[in-house]
């Protein structure tokens, strides 16, 4: 990171908290404090212009400062400078980019929240928590998150250089866009427990769940596991409707922030009234978090696993007089007790220690070599979260192997 960026990032954080923080979250700021921060910003701006070793254009400094402002809000907000607006107008910020990668930016690099089940990314072996260092040779460190997402929509084969936690060797992947929707939910029986996997919330998911729950009821099974691990995006309304399929009363979620407030209440209709456990992990995000929070918050069942990602938000793009724009979070979905689902996510009722899975084989698990050659299949990893859920239902942990 250059010296100018470090200097202006620090100033931007202070400026953000006073100017944008109050606008986003309703925190009042006294006028004299605003003027004080503006004065500090001006002093540092002039200091850099007159003392930095090289001459830096004023617009470049301001763009760096504004980018620092949005970086300080959250990882999902960003600033688009005026020169990039023409390219941004052709950008469609959709999670289904054709390769199935739901990404954000962390520590400067593109970060994989989750690969969508059944997608080219998932089949290639890209995992949640991976850092994408380069896309077709272009460093993601120099890109805004929208530019990363836009590049992943390429219709031609793309080469990704990926760094995985605990490894120093970069893995190479080749991805090609493909059609992999709609995604069907998965149903199994593990001993005396019904198991339903919801990989993604999209049109028709709630109806699929209703049918699956009716089948569970007809079978006489009174123990149910609903797995939303790796479910990181999709249609929030479908997630809300899916939660309603398991609830007979109570608040499912609400919307709070700088938008019109809204609440979703459960109705009395449900196809299944037995015991429920919901499985979550660090790649459970967006609608899946709302689903898990609704079951937990209404005491309908237990959440088992690790905390979710914390990304149940509504965002909006706002143009600026300068010709640029800001894409920012304007509202949060909430838990039934009206707490926003944000950084930190939903904490499970039963936490599962995954430390044993950290020590891993350094051999990359990708199904494709750099040139697309198939690799030998690896032994499936132990599913500690599913094993814990089965133990809570007094089922042998060996039944978890049936879900592998």
Peptide bond connecting 351 to the previous residue in cis, omega within 30 degrees of 0: no
Domain of residue 222, CATH code: 3.90.226.10
Distance of CA 170 to the CA centre of its chain: 23
Which two three-digit tokens encode residue 325?
Answer: 């724009």
Is 119 among the domain residues? no
Is 99 among the domain residues? no
Residue 165: exposure state from Cβ atoms within 10 A (0-12, 13-18, ≥19): exposed
For the chain, the maximum distance between any two Cα atoms, rounded to a whole number of angstroms, is: 77
pLDDT at residue 359 in the model = 54
Residue after which a domain boundary falls, among 56, 73, 90: 73
Q: What is the dihedral of CA 341, 347, 352, 353, to 10 degrees?
A: 90
**pTM above the 0.75 mark?**
yes
DSSP-derived letter for residue 65 is: H
Tracing tokens 């006294």 back to the chain, one arrives at: 30
Q: Say whether both 268 and 392 belong to one domain.
A: yes
What's the angle, vertex CA 314, arms to CA 308 and CA 315, rounded to 5?
Answer: 120
Q: Say whether both 58 and 196 belong to one domain.
A: no
From first to last of its 404 residues, the chain has per-residue pLDDT tens of: 454 454 444 445 444 444 444 444 444 445 567 778 778 778 877 887 788 888 878 877 777 777 888 888 899 999 999 999 999 998 877 767 789 999 999 988 999 999 999 999 999 999 999 999 999 999 999 899 999 999 998 889 999 999 997 777 899 999 999 999 999 999 999 999 999 999 999 999 999 999 999 999 999 999 999 999 999 999 999 999 999 999 999 999 999 999 999 999 999 889 899 999 999 999 999 999 999 999 999 999 999 999 999 999 999 999 999 899 999 999 999 999 999 999 899 999 999 999 877 655 444 444 444 434 444 445 556 899 999 999 999 998 766 665 55
Q: For helices 236-244 and 287-297, what crossing angle results, to 10°?
A: 20
Residue after which a domain boundary falls, among 73, 100, 117: 73
Is 366 among the domain residues? no
Is 49 among the domain residues? yes
Is 154 among the domain residues? no
Q: Say whether both 191 and 46 belong to one domain.
A: no
Is 233 among the domain residues? yes
pLDDT at residue 24 in the model = 43
Residue-by-residue DSSP string for 268-302? S--S--SEEEEEE-TT--THHHHHHHHHHHTTSSE
Residue after which a domain boundary falls, among 17, 47, 73: 73
pLDDT at residue 72 in the model = 83
Is 389 among the domain residues? yes
Contact criterion met (CB below 8 Å) for 294 and 280? no
pLDDT at residue 122 in the model = 96
Q: Say whether both 58 and 194 belong to one domain.
A: no
List the alpha helices (DSSP H) in 74-144: 85-88, 120-124
Contact criterion met (CB below 8 Å) for 136 and 106? no
Count the domains in the chain. 2
Contact criterion met (CB below 8 Å) for 125 and 99? no
pLDDT at residue 92 in the model = 79
Is 132 among the domain residues? no
User: Among candidates 243, 303, 301, which has minimal Cα distance to 274?
Assistant: 301
DSSP helix/strand/coil, 374: strand
Q: Say whether both 58 and 204 belong to one domain.
A: no
Question: Residue 261 belongs to what domain range?
Answer: 186-315+330-353+381-403
Q: How far is the CA of 289 from the CAs of 106, 181, 206, 229, 300, in angstroms?
A: 20, 21, 15, 10, 15
């Amino acid at each position: 990171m250059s010296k100018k960026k470090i200097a202006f990032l620090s100033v931007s954080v202070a400026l953000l908290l006073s100017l944008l923080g109050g606008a986003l979250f309703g925190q009042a700021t006294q006028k004299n404090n605003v003027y004080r921060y503006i004065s500090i910003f001006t002093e540092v701006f002039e200091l850099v212009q007159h003392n930095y070793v090289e001459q830096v254009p004023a617009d470049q400094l301001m763009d760096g400062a504004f980018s620092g402002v949005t970086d300080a809000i959250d990882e999902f907000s960003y600033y688009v400078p005026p020169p990039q607006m023409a390219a941004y107008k052709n950008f469609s910020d959709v999670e289904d980019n054709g390769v199935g990668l739901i990404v954000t930016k962390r520590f400067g690099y593109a970060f994989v929240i989750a690969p969508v089940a059944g997608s080219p990314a998932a089949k290639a072996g890209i995992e949640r928590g991976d850092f994408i260092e380069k896309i077709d040779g272009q460093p993601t460190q120099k890109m805004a998150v929208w530019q990363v997402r836009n590049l992943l929509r390429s219709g031609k084969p793309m080469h990704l250089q990926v760094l995985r936690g605990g490894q120093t060797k970069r893995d190479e992947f080749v991805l090609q866009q493909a059609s992999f929707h709609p995604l069907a939910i998965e149903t199994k029986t593990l001993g005396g427990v019904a198991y339903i996997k919801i990989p993604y919330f999209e049109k028709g998911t709630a109806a699929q769940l209703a049918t699956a729950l009716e089948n569970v009821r007809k079978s006489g099974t009174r123990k149910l596991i609903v797995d939303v691990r790796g479910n990181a995006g999709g249609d929030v309304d479908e997630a809300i409707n899916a939660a309603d399929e398991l609830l007979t009363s109570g608040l499912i979620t609400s919307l709070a922030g700088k938008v019109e407030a809204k609440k979703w209440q459960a109705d009395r209709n449900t196809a299944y009234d037995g015991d429920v456990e919901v499985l979550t992990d660090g790649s459970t995000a967006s609608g899946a978090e709302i689903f898990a929070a609704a079951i937990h918050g209404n005491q309908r069942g237990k959440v088992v696993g690790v905390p979710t990602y914390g990304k149940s938000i509504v965002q909006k793009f706002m143009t600026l007089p300068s010709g640029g724009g800001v894409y920012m979070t304007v509202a949060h979905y909430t838990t039934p007790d009206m707490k926003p689902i944000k950084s930190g996510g939903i904490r499970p009722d039963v936490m599962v220690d995954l430390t044993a899975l950290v020590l891993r084989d350094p051999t990359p698990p990708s199904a494709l070599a750099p040139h697309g050659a198939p690799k030998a299949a690896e032994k499936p990893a132990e599913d500690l979260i599913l094993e814990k859920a089965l133990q809570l239902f007094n089922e042998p942990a060996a039944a978890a192997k049936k879900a592998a």
